[in-house]
């Protein structure tokens, strides 16, 4: 099948058996790849009510038709599973080089099922597939394991590995790859740990069939040319995602002291230019990338190096914790990556604890003697380690802010910044109604990548609540995640402003199937509805109440910064949801109606 | 006396689709983009003669000013 590896590898960890199935053409036609494959498999193969950390849950790793191809951004794969953090849909996009090796090994998806009786790693070299003993690797941190594999097998092998966080089933544990890329959110690393899979190592040399080689070359070159000529390329390559730090501070979107404000007095020393000048050593990109956004940094103070920090980590492990020292943020980044826990959820969990400490809900008696004042760098480092190992006070924080705050009570729920149990990524949304709605309705929880609408808020009026804003959010949710379906990176479109229509001939040349962006958005809409139906299937009380934002954003206006005194009213929160459900064709409680399911042709998938 | 204002990607919509225009020196970047109908807060980065500046930079004769918007986000 043109554009595909052609096979799905199924690994039964309980028995050690493997099987390979031909990738169904109708699956590729209807769901294309990546997270499209992921939600299809999740609905079909993981039984209702499965324990996310039990043998019935599965991990689905899927590439897409542009993965591993000479198309800018073709370095992405999707990791779908039932989330141990939220109890709903988890889909984490991972960059780097792993997906290209999957494709060259002839694999469109890898399905991990069951639980291994002992620690193992999955070895794949083209058609050679083995489960190998990983007892000697269990307990080791991610970088050491990746280095060990690279030295043993060579640079051509790509490694995805969990750390102690995943082994200890921290529900926001990540999978680390390429010394700094992650399947970061939703706890994929914990599911891998529950299955006793320490790592996947993969290498392939097969060619990928394409429908029209000449058209493929031409379309690929047009995309690279557009990237190279983009006005924003130099700026983007210099700073990557950190270029937005100062901007977010200016507009009140930079999470500050557990999202109590959106502007931080120390933002200057966290900014992209400051970081570039003081700690960045070089740039680092994923497979086939013409605009490498990764920044490799050297922290002299700690005699260490890390890929990062990205904007998200600066927001959550920097300003959100009252830390203005970029080297310390980079070190926190290093600790999280090495231990295999998500920097976004970790920064949130510690921010929540710091606010509780500030408010007197916690004292040193609760915190293992740690002085949890905002800005206490050493306490943050200690807590990261404790979280990954689920030790002492870290065991509480390792549960995520939703569970931890419910356990603690005393009003601490108000400081738990999450939607659906997933901690909010690094945009404060006190007065940015489209972005707030994007977080409320995101299909994995409070994550920004599906619909990034905060500039739109500023363009049209940030407090405005109207059907056009809602329509914009829905369009973004249908469109942007399609990059995670086709196996590509959205950042060339997002940051370099290249024409998205340039992808259409590339996709057609590779697969032989013409799809306009309108066609692709229709697929995106179908996937979006399926993810919603999955949440509802797994949670009996699922509905509007799950979409409510943290109370902070409708009750607790910032006392400083660009959004001082600004808030979104609860009436407008509900109005946003009413309009959103109506435009989506969902019930007043936020569930796809039978008519919507039927019109999108989803009956066969959901039964 | 003039300077060049370059607009990235979607900002060109505010200039009839054209990537650059001549502007009079003496005004801030903020004032110039506002006069085109662009909300200044949507501008993430201002680069003047290859150096990053703020939106309050006063444009000088001969400057090449690049403004980048954040439309798509991270």
This model of the complex carries an ipTM of 0.89
Q: Which residue has the higher pLDDT, B70 or A281?
A: A281
Who contacts A11 (Cβ-Cβ below 8 Å, separation ≥6)?
A18, A110, A111, A112, A113, A122, A129, A131
* Residue B19 at interface with chain A, using a CB cutoff of 8 Å: yes
Who contacts A266 (Cβ-Cβ below 8 Å, separation ≥6)?
A318, A319, A322, A323, A324
Residue-wise pLDDT tens digits, A105-119: 999 999 999 999 999
Who contacts A257 (Cβ-Cβ below 8 Å, separation ≥6)?
A319, A320, A321, A322, A351, A354, A355, A374
Residues A331, A335, A340, A344: is their CA dihedral positive or negative?
A: negative
pLDDT over 70 (residue B44): yes
pLDDT of residue A258: 98
Query: Which of A246, A277, A455, A562 would you mutate first to test chain B, the one with the most B CBs within 10 A?
Result: A455
Number of cross-chain residue pairs from A and B with Cβ atoms under 8 Å apart: 63
Q: Tokens representing A132?
A: 């190998």
Query: What's the burial of A541, exposed, middle or buried (CB within 10 Å: 0-12/13-18/19+)?
Result: exposed
Strands (E) in A50-114, as ranges, are 58-62, 77-82, 89-94, 107-113
DSSP state of A70: S
Could you give the CA distance from residue A68 to residue A83 in angstroms, rounded to a whole number?
27
Looking up tokens 């060619």 gives: A207
pLDDT of residue B71: 61
Q: Tokens representing A410?
A: 């005393």
Looking up tokens 């102690």 gives: A164
pLDDT of residue A497: 86
The pLDDT of B2-20, averaged and rounded, is: 89
Residue-wise pLDDT tens digits, A178-230: 999 999 999 999 999 999 999 999 999 999 999 999 999 999 999 999 999 99
The pLDDT of A127-153, averaged and rounded, is: 98
Domains, chain A, ordered by start: 7-203 (3.60.9.10), 237-419 (1.10.569.10), 433-497+516-606 (1.10.599.10)
pLDDT class for A468, splitting at 50, 70, 90?
Answer: very high
The answer for A 220-259 residues in CB contact with B (under 8 A) is 230-232, 235, 241, 243-244, 247, 250-251
For the whole model, what pTM was predicted? Answer: 0.97
pLDDT of residue A33: 98
Could you give the CA distance from residue B33 to residue B66 in angstroms, rounded to a whole number?
11
Who contacts A540 (Cβ-Cβ below 8 Å, separation ≥6)?
none
Nearest CB to A241 within list B41, B52, B74 = B74
CB contact under 8 A, B44 and A247: yes
The answer for A 479-538 residues in CB contact with B (under 8 A) is 480, 490-491, 493-497
pLDDT of residue A607: 77
Which of these, A207, A575, A185, lies nearest to A400 by C-alpha position? A185
pLDDT class for B52, splitting at 50, 70, 90?
Answer: confident
Domains, chain B, ordered by start: 3-69 (3.10.20.30)
pLDDT class for A530, splitting at 50, 70, 90?
Answer: very high
pLDDT over 70 (residue B72): no
Who contacts A365 (Cβ-Cβ below 8 Å, separation ≥6)?
none
Q: Please, how many CA atoms are within 13 Å of residue A267, restricted to the half-sphere of its CB?
A: 25
Could you give the CA distance from residue A42 to residue A13 in angstroms, rounded to a whole number?
17
Range scoring the smallest mean pLDDT among A85-99, A157-171, A306-320, B46-60: B46-60
Looking up tokens 């989506």 gives: A584
Q: Which residues on B lie below 8 Å from A232 (Cβ)?
A: 8-9, 68
pLDDT of residue B19: 87
pLDDT over 90 (residue B51): no
* Residue A366 at interface with chain B, using a CB cutoff of 8 Å: no
Residue-wise pLDDT tens digits, A268-294: 999 999 999 999 999 999 999 999 999
Asked if residue A133 lies in contact with residue A358, where contact means CB atoms within 8 angstroms, the answer is no
> In what helix (H) or strand (E) does residue A121 lie, and over which residues does it extend?
strand A120-125
Asked if residue A449 lies in contact with residue A182, where contact means CB atoms within 8 angstroms, the answer is no
* Residue B22 at interface with chain A, using a CB cutoff of 8 Å: no
Residue-wise pLDDT tens digits, A308-344: 999 999 999 999 999 999 999 999 999 999 999 999 9
Asked if residue A517 lies in contact with residue A508, where contact means CB atoms within 8 angstroms, the answer is no
Which of these, A398, A447, A399, lies nearest to A420 by C-alpha position? A447
Number of neighbours of residue A588 by Cβ within 10 angstroms: 11
* Residue B64 at interface with chain A, using a CB cutoff of 8 Å: no
By residue count, chain B amounts to 74
Query: Which of B21, B70, B71 would you mutate first to test chain A, the one with the most A CBs within 10 A?
Result: B70
Percent over 90 (pLDDT), chain A: 97
* Residue A115 at interface with chain B, using a CB cutoff of 8 Å: no
Which of these, A274, A273, A294, lies nearest to A285 by C-alpha position? A294
Q: Which residues on A lie below 8 Å from B66 (Cβ)?
A: 231, 235
Distance from CA of A135 to the nearest CA of B (A): 38
Distance (Å) of CA A123 to CA A7, A18, A117, B27: 16, 12, 17, 62
pLDDT of residue A594: 97
Residues forming beta bridges with residue B45, ordered by sequence position: B68
Q: Tell me the pLDDT of chain A averaged across its residues.
A: 97
Could you give the CA distance from residue B19 to residue B32 in angstroms, rounded to a whole number?
15
pLDDT of residue B74: 52
pLDDT over 70 (residue A552): yes
DSSP state of B4: E
């Amino acid at each position: 099948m043109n554009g595909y590896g052609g096979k799905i590898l199924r690994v039964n960890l309980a028995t050690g058996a493997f099987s390979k199935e031909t990738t169904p053409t109708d699956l590729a036609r209807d769901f294309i790849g990546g997270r499209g494959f992921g939600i299809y498999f999740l609905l079909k193969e993981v039984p209702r009510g499965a324990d996310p950390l039990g043998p019935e849950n599965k991990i689905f790793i899927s590439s897409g038709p542009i993965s591993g191809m000479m198309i800018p951004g073709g370095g992405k794969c999707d990791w779908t599973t039932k989330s141990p953090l939220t109890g709903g849909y988890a889909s984490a996009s991972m960059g780097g080089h792993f997906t290209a090796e999957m494709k060259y090994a002839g694999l469109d998806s890898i399905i991990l099922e069951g639980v291994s009786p002992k620690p193992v790693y999955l070895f794949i070299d083209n058609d050679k597939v083995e489960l190998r003993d990983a007892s000697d690797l269990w307990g080791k941190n991610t970088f050491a394991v990746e280095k060990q594999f690279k030295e043993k097998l060579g640079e051509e092998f790509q490694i995805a590995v969990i750390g102690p966080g995943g082994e200890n089933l921290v529900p926001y544990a990540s999978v680390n790859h390429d010394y700094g890329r992650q399947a970061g959110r939703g706890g994929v690393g914990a599911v891998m740990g529950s299955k006793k899979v320490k790592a996947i190592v993969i290498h392939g040399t097969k060619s990928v069939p394409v429908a029209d080689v000449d058209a493929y070359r031409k379309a690929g070159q047009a995309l690279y040319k557009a990237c190279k000529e983009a006005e924003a390329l130099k700026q983007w390559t210099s700073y990557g995602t950190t270029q937005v730090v100062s901007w977010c501070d200016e507009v009140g979107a930079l999470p500050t002291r557990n999202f109590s404000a959106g502007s931080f007095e120390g933002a200057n020393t966290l900014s992209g230019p400051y970081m570039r000048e003081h700690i960045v050593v070089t740039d680092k990109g994923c497979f086939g990338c013409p605009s490498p956004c990764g920044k490799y940094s050297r922290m002299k103070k700690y005699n260490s190096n890390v890929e990062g920090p990205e904007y998200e980590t600066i927001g959550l492990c920097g300003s959100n914790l009252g830390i203005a020292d970029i080297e310390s943020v980079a070190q926190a980044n290093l600790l999280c990556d090495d231990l295999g826990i998500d920097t976004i959820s970790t920064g949130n969990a510690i921010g929540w604890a710091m606010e509780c400490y500030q408010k007197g809900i916690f004292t040193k008696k609760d915190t293992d003697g740690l002085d949890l004042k905002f800005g206490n760098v050493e306490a943050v480092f200690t807590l990261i380690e404790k979280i990954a190992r689920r030790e002492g006070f870290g065991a509480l924080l390792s549960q995520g802010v939703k569970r931890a705050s419910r356990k603690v009570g005393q009003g601490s729920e108000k400081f738990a910044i999450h939607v659906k149990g997933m901690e909010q990524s690094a945009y404060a949304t006190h007065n940015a109604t489209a972005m707030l709605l994007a977080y409320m309705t995101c299909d994995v929880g409070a994550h920004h990548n599906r619909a990034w609408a905060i500039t739109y808020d500023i363009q049209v009026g940030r407090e405005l609540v109207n059907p056009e804003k809602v329509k914009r959010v829905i369009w973004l949710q249908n469109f942007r995640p399609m990059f995670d379906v086709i196996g590509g990176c959205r950042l060339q479109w997002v940051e370099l402003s290249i024409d998205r229509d340039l992808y259409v001939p590339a996709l057609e040349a590779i697969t032989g199937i013409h799809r306009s962006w309108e066609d692709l958005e229709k697929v995106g809409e179908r996937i979006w509805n399926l993810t919603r139906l999955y949440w509802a299937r797994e949670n009996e009380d699922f509905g509007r109440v799950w979409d409510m934002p943290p109370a902070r954003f409708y009750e607790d206006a910032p006392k400083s910064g660009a959004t001082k005194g600004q808030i979104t009213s609860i009436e407008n929160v509900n109005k946003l949801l009413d309009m959103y459900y109506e435009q989506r064709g969902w019930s007043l409680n936020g569930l796809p109606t039978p008519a919507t399911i039927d019109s999108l042709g989803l009956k066969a998938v959901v039964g | 006396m003039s300077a060049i204002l370059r607009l990235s990607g979607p900002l060109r919509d505010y200039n009839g689709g054209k990537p650059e225009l001549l502007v009079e020196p003496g005004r801030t970047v903020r004032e110039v983009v506002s006069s085109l109908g662009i909300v200044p807060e949507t501008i993430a980065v201002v680069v003047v003669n290859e150096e990053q500046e703020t939106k309050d930079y006063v444009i000088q004769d001969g400057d090449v000013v690049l403004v980048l918007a954040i439309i798509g986000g991270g």
